[in-house]
Structure 1
Amino acid sequence: MRENRSEFYGKLCLITGAGQGIGLACTKSLLDQGAHVIACDVTQATLDELQQSLSTNQQQCTTLLPFDLSDPHAILNACQNLQQDNLIPELIITCAGTLHLASILELPFEALNKTLDINLKGTMLLTQQLAKMLVENSRKGAIVAVGSNAADTPRVKMSAYCTSKAGLHMWMQCLGLELAEHGIRCNIVSPGSTRTPMQEQMWNESYGERETVQGNLASHRIGIPLNKIAETKDITNAIEFLLSGKSGHITMHDLRVDGGATL
């Protein structure tokens, strides 16, 4: 009797931000389905912790690739190493990101620069280089960027983050347009409030999960109509759909997974 395998079985995937949050959930989900994962994060220690949480079989299917998305030389070096080792991922998921909360009038230039370097410019350069590798080797594939529903909804004290995600969305749409002739699909998953370390960074003694769901008129947040924040599985389900053959005629699309918060 033929074994019923996931379509991701044996596929080579690259995931940024693999050490926590959505990236970690996505890494473990794809490994559970038999994929081979190139797990990327900013430090070796973060990736070592990830590997220790995996089974022996999963460890054998995982390649750890530490590099800093804010460093273009590190990105180019990482891609060169992948090329030399003939590790050309056909499925690419960019989850890495950073958030700095501050009003525009008090936003330090260093924080603005770091947000744009990681969330936008670093991801642009990485996906450009990986796309080149796919095209030069005549490989088809799919790229999914984790964006945000804040990309086109202004948020108080989140200007740098919103701007970086807005730029990322347009980059992915342009990338998808140019890569379509090569059979490479490029899409965006835009989460709303999701139970991750980044979300918890925004919570404090006076503002937490309950207030996030209910919304806050003073900060111009409408809340979440489905009356709950997302779990990481909600986001990974959407990512895997856009990677899969079920979305074979979908590219340049922005899939909102925010419980209706975009309203």
Structure 2
Amino acid sequence: MQAQHDTPGTAPVAVVTGSDSGIGRATAVRLAEAGMDIGITWHRDREGARRTADEVRATGRRAVVGHLDLTQLPDAAEVIDQLADELGRLDVLVNNAGTGTMTPFLELDHDTVRQVLDVDLVGPFLCGQRAARRMIQQGSGGRIVNVTSVHEHQPRVGAAPYCAAKGGLGLLTQVMALELAEHGITVNAVAPGEIATPMTGQTDTDVTDESRPGVPLGRPGDAREVAAVIAFLAGPDASYVTGASWVVDGGMLRMGPQAGSHLTDDAWRRP
């Protein structure tokens, strides 16, 4: 990936999907602070995307906004090229847009399963293809970061299509890493645990005030803590890191995410 530049129009460019709130917004701002111009996508929250763009511009970087509805595939993935065209290039893709469901396996209908798989797996696949093709054409390498979940690694009751999609995205990340390495493109996954975002019903939450007895660090994560890991993987210091899954979960996986989210006291800490 090319070195970062400070002159407007020559900076590295990152596209962060689903960056109208939560982890996506925190990532967009963090990458802007690292000197990147940012392509922002939104699905339902146009105003949220505008606020993200304002935060990016406040760092002195450029921001452009595009609509992305990953239930409308394959055409929806065209936004990757549109944003790259507007910003002049593409160096980093963060596949962050996602959805989920909490429905028992026996009650799931086909439309719900298909929607979750499209948004969480097929969408990142197609967006990743478009980004990689552009990076190869540019000839200067690049970075792709797929935001998965602790459920890339372990299951959760009621989340069958979500777990299937995130597990698939984790293995897709590894295949992409192998196939794109010769082009200087690294591909990694970031697997968050419970993060205080609108998706988990925690908007503007001070995570230090929240108690999570079943999580070793005792609290949910902050979106900026996930963004920091994504920014590392998207930057020059991670040039020899590819095909890995970086878990950001406060130790939840050591407990098992089902226990980590359901334990109601600290008795497990004592022998």
Q: TM-score, normalised by structure 2?
A: 0.81
Indicate yes or no: 2:30 matched with 1:29.
yes
Structure 2 partner of 1:262: 253
User: For residue 261 of structure 1, what is the amino acid of its counterpart?
Assistant: M
User: For residue 13 of structure 1, what is the amino acid of its counterpart?
Assistant: A
Secondary structure of 1:50's partner? helix
Structure 2 partner of 1:154: 155
Indicate yes or no: 2:114 matched with 1:113.
yes
Q: CA deviation at 1:110?
A: 1.8
Distance 1:28 1:94 in 2: 15
Structure 1 partner of 2:187: 186
Q: CA deviation at 1:78?
A: 2.3
Per-residue CA deviations over 1:34-85 (Å, capped at 9, x if unaligned) read 3200111224724554257437555861011112122224334324434655
Contact 2:174 2:187 in 1 (8 A): yes
Structure 2 partner of 1:226: 217
Contact 1:8 1:33 in 2 (8 A): no
Higher mean alpha-carbon deviation, 40-49 vs 161-170, is at: 40-49
* Cα distance change, pair 39–132 in 1 and its aligned pair in 2 (3 A): same
Q: Which runs of 4+ in 1 moved over 4 A?
A: 6-9, 55-60, 82-86
Secondary structure of 2:14's partner? strand
Per-residue CA deviations over 1:113-166 (Å, capped at 9, x if unaligned) read 110010000110110111011112212111111111111211011111111100
Contact 2:13 2:39 in 1 (8 A): yes
Match of 2:238 among 247, 250, 253: 247
Distance 2:61 2:159 in 1: 40
User: For residue 164 of structure 1, what is the amino acid of its counterpart?
Assistant: A
Structure 1 segment 68-83 matched on structure 2, within 5 A: 68-82=69-83
Secondary structure of 2:117's partner? helix
Distance 1:191 1:247 in 2: 19
Once superposed, what is the RMSD of the aligned Cα atoms?
2.4
* Cα distance change, pair 82–111 in 1 and its aligned pair in 2 (3 A): same
Higher mean alpha-carbon deviation, 59-68 vs 224-233, is at: 59-68
Distance 1:237 1:98 in 2: 22
Secondary structure of 2:191's partner? strand
Structure 2 partner of 1:206: none
Structure 1 partner of 2:173: 172
Contact 1:188 1:253 in 2 (8 A): yes
- Count residues in correspondence: 241
Secondary structure of 1:240's partner? helix
Contact 2:143 2:186 in 1 (8 A): yes
Contact 2:80 2:130 in 1 (8 A): yes
Structure 2 partner of 1:131: 132
* Cα distance change, pair 83–19 in 1 and its aligned pair in 2 (3 A): closer
Per-residue CA deviations over 1:7-56 (Å, capped at 9, x if unaligned) read 58522110001101100111122223332001112247245542574375
Q: Percent identity?
A: 27
Secondary structure of 2:195's partner? coil
Secondary structure of 1:164's partner? helix
Unaligned runs of 5+ in 2: 203-209, 255-271
Structure 1 segment 83-102 matched on structure 2, within 5 A: 85=86, 87-102=88-103
Secondary structure of 1:97's partner? coil
Per-residue CA deviations over 1:151-188 (Å, capped at 9, x if unaligned) read 12110111111111001111111001000011100001
